[in-house]
Amino acid sequence: MTAKKKASKKKAAAKGPAGSTPAPARAQRGADGVYPETQILSRNFGVEDSWTLAVAREQGAYTMLEKALATMTPAQVVEEVKTSRLRGRGGAGFPTGVKWGFIPQDSKKTKYLVLNADESEPGTFKDRYLMELDPHLVLEGCLLCAYATGLDVIYIYIRGEYPLSITRMEGAIEEARQAGYLGKNILGKQGFTVEAHVHPGAGAYICGEETGMLESLEGKRGHPRIKPPFPAVEGAFGCPTVINNVETLAHVPCIIEFGGAWFAGLGIQPDPANPRALGSSGTKLMGVSGDVKNPGVWEFEFGITLRELIYDYAGGPLDGRKVKAVIPGGLSMPVLTAGELDVPMGYDALQKVGSGLGTATAIVMDDACDMVEACENIAHFFADESCGQCTPCREGCHWMEKIFARIKAGEGTPKDLDLLEHLFVNIEGRTICALADAAVWPLRSILRKFRHEFLAQMPGQSDPALPAGSAAVGAR
Amino acid sequence: MADNKPTITIDGQVLAYEPGQTVIQVAHEAGFDVPHYCYHPGLSIAGNCRICMVEVDGWPKPQVSCKLQPSPGMVVHTQSALAKSARAGTMEMLLVNHPLDCPICDQAGECHLQDYSYQLGQGEASSTTAKTKLPKNVAFGEKIVYDAERCIKCTLCVRFCEEITQTNELAMSGRGDHEIVIMTSKGEFDTAYSMNIIDLCPVGALTSRDFRFKSRLWFMDFTESLCTGCARGCNVVTGGRDGAMLRMEPRANAEVNQWWLCDEGRLDYAHVNGADRIASPRIKTADGVWVQATVDDAITAAAVALREAGGDVLLDGGCTLEEMLLARDLAKVMGGKARYAAATGGGDKFLRVDERGANAKGAEGLGLARATKAAAAAVVIVERDAHVPAALRDGAAPVVVFATDAASVPASARVVFPHGSWAERDGLLVNTDGRIQVINRNPAVGPDNIPATADVLEEILGELDPAYDWRGRGGLHAALRSESAFAKAQFPAMQSAGVGVGA
């Protein structure tokens, strides 16, 4: 953990070995008004050698697997996860139990779990903590998923730039295999036979998209597939496949430990009036990077506001600076302005304000940040990472990058902003995967919310935000 | 729908569909012109070009119709504002980096990008940025040239090499707008079917080294015909201009060649454009000098010579059924038999067969024996040296010769008629599977005014047999139908000569 925690802060942590402590209570703002951390996923993060099986076992690793194998049917595990209302932590927020339910149980084919550990979303660095500091928790979650849905093989697709995650997960798999948590008839359970493999990625953002990842895993170019068929029916190697994020599955042991109802009671409840607001149950690793004093990752029950996250935990902006804009969930979400920070961190709440939870890792930009330059940077990233498969993204992302570069070079005109709006329409929702949408959302929101900054960098355009007489071009 | 098939509605028309069909297939069958680049009925569906997008009621986003599975009652709009704007948006994207080099691009005139630009494009470019620079004039083997800037990355060529030839010579490389097609580590593009990717390419990214820069399409005549390189009878379109044949490309026929053609067959027209083509009849004088003659004079001279010589007729296995029937009748009048000759070898497991005589099956049906060694014949008809080699021709010591090339005329000949190549003749051929198909004359190919071999044979028959009645094409076809071998065969409708697909 890079984050320094103030002693005054309360923590609701499930300290000690799993199974030996009562379920953590709901987070309550203290007398000082500070929203406390709830350490469930991260409870072993400070423990020495937490990634080794010996230490992990002292902390209760694999006891929930034992419990499930001994006392629960696979269907009961799925039910428990459905009850928990656990939603995917990779960005899309799809209900995990529902996804598991899509796996056809009558299929004779090999069934796969592909664990999405390709954490390549800019500003996102939560899954690496789990893989580096508690790989056995991750593996236990995978095995619970395998038991629940009848899977045979686990592939852990880890971003190639995470060498320590790769080493730790490979080490954990080896230790688990030797201890009988992997292989034939795991823990004596007849027929529960699962193998696990680590597959390192080779550095492409698109391989974090689930079907691009499957293609990459199969040894092909990471070009996303058109859905349907969905991976649950036809995924890796044409077989039924569950694809889950690392953090998603790391939640499963504690759901088995304390129960789905307990998990569902944490966080933000669904809105009965809005069937699309599925609520945000449980806890979430949340991170902050960018222009703050104390970037890092913490675990909270859903409900902490973006402002609390940035000011109480990330230390707020650097001295003498003010927060100008925040992208709340990785790079691919619409931007929020300094005035929009009181939104609770949750799937539905962030959607309601026109953004999204994404990976719940905020990127903070302060008042020294040139939004035109930021857009050029964002557009460059998505243009560079566009896989090239389908036309609107392949051509459109580069086109957007060139326009932002032109504006940054002081050669833009207001017509360019109209052209960008025209391109957003023709890129968003017109492609095979969501990379194009991910490119459009932050760019369009920045353009709309900070339009004056773009006009200010155009020759002959006066900037209403600047005092009269200021030089428009290059003003910062 | 009487047969209770599920239906969808496209632009207000209720259309039945078969399970497994996608919306674009249903639309195309019903005659809707849904544009497409990356879709091809013979290849897997990629859905990457995004030009075939349509609007579906109840779906917020436009959908690619090439991949979209119909569901009963689905309501599809190809001309709604959303469908149109989605396609126009894609079109604009495709042109951002596409070079504006139509004036020097071989594809101009048959370019889907050009066609859809006229339909969907806007007159004014929105992009003022420099276009991406990518490799040009890249050799894909000896026969194909690749231009990555023109390429729209539809991956049809890559999928062809993966799925049809299964030889994997091509792959996509690079990301984003720097993505290009590359040759894989195999290093050579030597599959026998490589040039099909030129036809597949919807734009001018893949061009034929054989054809490029030879002619603008709109100056050429195109005629539906057959390839006569072997007995498969692949359906083709011949393209010619000013007497020369310039190219040949496959025509879809699900029963024969699907959409494909082998490279050898495609390039098998050197003899059509030979420097030594015979353009008019010739008669050898008493002192051994060749003189040009009118067709009538040559027919009279041939009849005189044949009355004197008599005997067999030896013909090229690429002759039409009509020519073969007449040759058989002629041989009968002369007291001999008709035989045919054809090369063999070169077959593979895909389209090419060992039998190279394009009408060998027809000859068999007419009871013609296959000539394998030299034997006397009064008349020889030869288009290809490979079929009727010098040993057979010279050994036959014919007096009357129908030949395409002057070099094929044996020294014994006294009357020579020009024999048009297959691209210049009309008639029927029977392919290796017994299917009767049509070849058609391309009016732009070959020397002007050469008489049809079938007509000349009929005239000679009339000279030799006073009882012979002129039958013409209709009479010949009636006679063919009464042959026991073809009694059950389906005869295709003949196209009037020279009406090309481009007409």
Is pTM beyond 0.95? Reply is no
How far are the Cα atoms of B135, B153, B155, B162, B248 from residue B145, in angstroms, in the given order? Answer: 11, 15, 16, 19, 17
What local confidence, expressed as pLDDT, does residue B18 receive? 94
Residue B177 touches chain A, beta carbons under 8 Å: yes
User: Tell me, what's the pLDDT at A469?
Assistant: 41
Q: How many CA atoms lie within 13 A of B165 on its CB side?
A: 23
Helix or strand run (H / E) with residue B379:
strand B379-382
Do B175 and A388 make contact, defined as CB atoms within 8 angstroms?
Answer: yes
B282-500: which CATH topology? Rossmann fold (3.40.50)
Interface predicted TM-score of the whole assembly (ipTM), two decimals: 0.89
Q: Output the CATH code of domain B2-95.
A: 3.10.20.740
Q: Which helix (H) or strand (E) holds B7?
A: strand B7-10
Instruction: Evaluate if residue B69 carries a pLDDT over 50.
Output: yes
Per-residue pLDDT at B496: 40
Q: What sections of B310-365 are H helices per DSSP?
A: 321-333, 360-365
Mean of pLDDT over chain B: 93
Cβ-defined contact of A384 to B176 (cutoff 8 Å):
yes
Q: Domains for chain A: give ranges and CATH numbers.
A: 53-265 (3.40.50.11540), 281-366 (3.10.20.600), 371-456 (1.20.1440.230)
Q: Cβ of B97 and A395 within 8 Å?
A: yes
Residue-level pLDDT at B11: 97
Which residue stretches of A102-186 are H helix? 127-133, 135-149, 163-178
Cβ within 8 Å, pair B53-A430: yes
Q: What is the mean pLDDT of residues B493-501?
A: 44
Q: Taking the alpha carbons of B118, B127, B178, B47 in that order, is the dihedral positive or negative?
A: negative
Chain A contact for B24 (CB, 8 A cutoff): no
Considering only the beta carbons, identify the residue of A384, A391, A396 that sits closest to B49.
Answer: A391
For chain A, positions 325-384, list CB contacts with chain B under 8 A: 383-384
pLDDT score at A11: 58
Q: Which of A206, A226, A391 sits opposite B93 (nearest CB)?
A: A391
Contact with chain A for residue B137, Cβ under 8 A: no
CB pairs under 8 A between A and B: 98
Cis peptide bond N-terminal to A229, omega within 30: yes
Distinct helix (H) and strand (E) counts, chain A: 18, 13
Q: Which residue of chain B comes nearest to A222, CA vs CA?
A: B175
First to last CA, chain B: 37
Contact status of A399 with chain B (Cβ, < 8 Å): yes
**Cα–Cα distance for residue pair B359/B315, rounded to 1 Å:** 11
Does B343 contact A at CB distance below 8 Å? no
Instruction: Give the pLDDT of residue A474.
Output: 37
Q: What is the mean pLDDT of residues B140-152?
A: 96
Of B50, B130, B178, the CB nearest to A392: B50
CB-based contact, A413 to chain B, within 8 Å: no
A16 touches B: beta carbon within 8 Å: no
Correct CATH for B101-106+128-213 of 3.10.129.10, 3.40.390.10, 3.30.70.20, 3.30.70.330:
3.30.70.20
Higher pLDDT, B500 or B155: B155
A266 touches chain B (CB under 8 A): no
State residue A16's pLDDT score. 55
- Domain-wise residue ranges, chain B: 2-95, 101-106+128-213, 282-500
Q: What is the pLDDT of residue B494?
A: 65
A395 vs B179: CB contact, 8 Å cut-off? no
| B176:A398 CB<8 A | yes
Inter-residue contact A155 to A114 (CB < 8 Å): yes
Q: Tell me what pLDDT residue B129 has.
A: 86
C-alpha distances out from residue A469 to A32, A152, A455, A462, A472, Å: 46, 69, 15, 9, 9
Distance from CA of B98 to the nearest CA of A (A): 10
Identity of the residue in A398, A425, A431 whose CB atom sits nearest the CB atom of B177: A398
CB A71 within 8 A of CB A80: no
- The letter for the amino acid at B118 is Y
Of the residues B55, B67, B93, the best mutation for testing chain A's interface (the one with the most A CB atoms within 10 Å of its CB) is B93
What is d(CA A200, CA A203) in angstroms, rounded to the nearest whole number? 9
A226 touches chain B (CB under 8 A): yes
| pLDDT tens for each residue of B379-435 | 999 999 999 999 999 999 999 999 999 999 999 999 999 999 999 999 999 999 999
Q: Given this model, what pLDDT does residue A2 score?
A: 41
Residues of chain A falling short of pLDDT 70: 1-20, 462-476
More confident residue, B445 or A203: B445
Determine the residue among B91, B132, B175, B180 to mutate to test chain A binding: the one whose Cβ has the most chain A Cβ atoms within 10 Å. Answer: B175
Rg (CA), chain A: 23
What is residue B57's DSSP assignment? T
Q: Is A234 on the interface with B (CB under 8 A)?
A: no
Cα gap A247→A253, rounded to integer Å: 11
Whether B177 sits inside 8 A of A395 (CB atoms) is yes
Report pLDDT for A5.
44
Residue B147 confidence (pLDDT): 98
d(CA B214, CA A160): 51
Contact A327, A361 (CB under 8 A): no
